[in-house]
Structure 1
Amino acid sequence: MHRLPSMLFTATLATVAVLGGCATDKMRSKTTLLDETLRSYAATIRWGEVAQALNFVEPKTLAEHPPTQLELDRFRQVRVTGYNEQPVVPVSENEMHQTVQIELVNVNTQSARSVVDRQVWKYDEAGKRWWLTTGLPDISRHD
């Protein structure tokens, strides 16, 4: 008779542990995906692959603020010589901020400068991916 409450308690604890583990695994998976996304985006920017970098930008952001031809041409005039990331700052479970200092050299004049890119990344539950909601870095600024 005393075994039934004990078994129910054990079963309840096991269920809580499994569900808690699922939540932890889900968060870990999201974090791993963010790390992979940030690493891929950084490599894409470092190599100057602007067309590929657009694939990281949230479609809604891209539709509302498509890059102009002038902005795209500016990327062709520079070489990225540094991409210095600050640690990611979690705003919520589905939103992360990251500040990156991008070092640039103008390929025509060889003048060097840097810009600060304040990125906002949001997780899309349906698509199971992170999107950059702030668009491509504004390399026309002089920070």
Structure 2
Amino acid sequence: MRGLITAGVLWALLLVMGTADAQTSRRQRNKLEQSQIALTAAIRWGDFEAAWQMVDPAYRQAHPLSDVELSRYEQVQISGYRDLSSQLEADDTVTRNIELRVINKHTMAERTLRYQEHWRWDAENKGWWLVTGLPDLWNGQ
């Protein structure tokens, strides 16, 4: 009888732990969705300074955004930002494939490009960071 009670208690404990883990995952997914929506809105509306604040602080420190680079973003209008796919990677990061439609404000020429966002969970701050920086709208040029 004692073994049956112990097994029941262990089963209940595992069930509670599994539920807590599912809650954590659900919270993380909700936070990711909120972060991605905020980034999409910032880029879509041309607020690249706000988008820059969603980039991982370690990346920002290693790759500071100069005034010249920031001014280049002011020369374009984002006319489309489409999430093509998302996937959870083995290292618990999330990759999101994006299609951007970019209009050069000076020539009014529109072009389409694709890029990948990589997101990582920051357990200490309980939030997600974009670890790939802002999209390169000029293919490194």
Supply the distance in 2 between the matched residues of 1:129 and 1:92 (Cα, whole angstroms).
Answer: 19
Out of 81, 87, 101, the position equivalent to 1:83 is 81
Could you say which residue in structure 1 is the equivalent of 2:117? Answer: 119
User: Percent identical across equivalent pairs?
Assistant: 26
1:94 to 89, 92, 95: 92
- State the distance in 1 between where 2:30 and 2:85 align: 15
On the 8 A contact 1:115/1:141 being kept in 2, the answer is no
2:139 paired with 1:141: yes
- Equivalent AA in structure 2 for residue 45 of structure 1: I
The equivalent position to 2:40 in structure 1, one of 42, 46, 53, is 42
| 1:11-54 Cα shifts (integer Å, max 9, x gaps) | 11111100111111111111111111111111111011011001
- Cα distance in structure 2, aligned partners of 1:47 and 1:76: 11
- Native 8 Å contact 2:82 2:98 kept in 1: yes
Q: Any stretches of 5+ residues in structure 1 without a counterpart? A: none
* TM norm structure 2: 0.92
**Aligned-partner SS, 1:114:** strand
Moved more, 126-135 or 89-98: 89-98
Say whether the 8 Å CA contact 2:79–2:103 is kept in structure 1: yes
2:64 maps to what in 1?
Answer: 66
- Counting matched residue pairs gives 140
Alignment root-mean-square deviation, CA: 1.5
